[in-house]
Amino acid sequence: MTSRSLDNWLSYIESQHPSEIELGLERGSSVLEKLAISRPKGKVITVAGTNGKGSTCAMLTQYLTSQGHTVGTYTSPHFLAFNERIALNNVACQDALICQAFEAIEAARAGTPLTYFEFSTLAALWIFSQSELDYWVLEVGLGGRLDSVNMVDADVAVITSISLDHTDWLGDSIEVIAREKTGIARHGKLLVSGVVNPPNSLAETAIMIGADLRQKGEQFSYQMAENEWSWSGNNTAFEHLPIPNLPIENAATVVAVLSFMGLDPDVVALRHLFANAQLTGRFQKVSDAPVTYIDVAHNPEAAGELANRVAAFSKQPVAVCGMLKDKDINSVLATLVDKFSAWHLADLAGPRGAKALDLARSLEQKNATDLSQYDTVSAAIEVAANQALEEGRSLVVFGSFVTVTDYLAYAKGKQA
């Protein structure tokens, strides 16, 4: 067992369950009990939501570590390396430590079939337990109530947003999806909701659980001003906060989490956080020639955020877009159709990947012009980057985690 490399382990755990996704807590919980995991010295913060989970986890982690706390952060998916999923104090874990975790899980599971995500989650929890940390920040993979992250009782549950996504797994209405996501809350524990216009089922489920619910628009709010914003709630206010590169809705939720947790956030530290917070693939500037941004936006809500960002550009940017066919392609493209001067559309590999032709047909129905199609994201980038340079425009690469991963791999190859 100890001779396995991380790549060998990942190949092995991929083969241990017939399904990539199988919601439920029984399998993982039975193994978790055998691992005898100890909780952090402070709190477990669990974050669910359709959009904004990663941004919220990143900002919470960056604030807590800036204040001298030790933090374990578990997120998904990764871009170039599995290690990105499990971080200690904002630094990805080394191969050897992850392999040790997998060895412990393999010994404990005694043949219990685990999905790839269950293996990953248990590895993160084992590593965090071994590291004796102050806080754990855990991002839900899918839904909430039946996601393997929910094996651990949250001291603080956070819901960032709710919209229709993964309907095959979570249900076909906002009300049902809200119930699933609110399932991460616990009796007598804090639940912070950053959801705008929340469905009634969120509060109803919180009441049923007995959670201590604090909602955006009720117990806390934020106000925008020119080039800055302010937050108010919990009998306090924070003013003159810089506009973050990450979505401000999530920034407001982060302040609420810190405040209602009783951490008494420091306004200077908050200003530093929002001036510097960043996260891979969230409207991230990655190049100056041409100016290039990458964004994982792949559903209507995230597309709306991206549309607002690019609308502020002095000239319409050039787009490279690749999407998965199980996403709401028509709604995403309808939101963005008039925001780009040209579209370079790419096939995404794998059974879930949409074809560039399908994206082009959707855009043509919306009267878009200047459409080009490519077999790969890298081929699209080559042409789109040249066009952006020649025309003095920015380049935006978006549509999926897969698309952003392909960009990062392309950029890494260019640097080699």
Per-domain residue ranges for the chain? 6-276, 284-415
Q: Comparing C-alpha atoms, which of 102, 65, 105, 107 is closest to residue 87?
A: 65
Structure tokens at 102: 């997998």
pLDDT at position 414 is 84
What CA–CA distances, in Å, run from 251 to 9, 278, 281?
Answer: 36, 12, 17
Percent pLDDT > 90 in the chain is: 86
Q: Comparing C-alpha atoms, which of 97, 73, 95, 96 is closest to residue 85?
A: 73
| Predicted confidence band of residue 16 (pLDDT cuts 50, 70, 90) | confident
Higher pLDDT, residue 415 or 126: 126
Mean pLDDT of the chain: 94
* Domain 284-415: homologous superfamily in CATH: Mur ligase, C-terminal domain (3.90.190.20)
> 284-415: same fold as 6-276?
no
Query: Is the CATH number of domain 6-276 3.40.1190.10?
Result: yes
State the Cα–Cα distance between residues 173 and 307, nearest whole angstrom.
25
Structure tokens at 231: 């937050």
For residues 52, 53, 55, 59, the Cα torsion angle rounded to the nearest 10 degrees is: 130
Whether 24 shows a pLDDT value over 60: the answer reads yes
Residue indicated by tokens 């960056």: 62
pLDDT at position 144 is 87
| Predicted confidence band of residue 323 (pLDDT cuts 50, 70, 90) | very high
Query: What predicted TM-score, i.e. pTM, was given to this entire model?
Result: 0.92
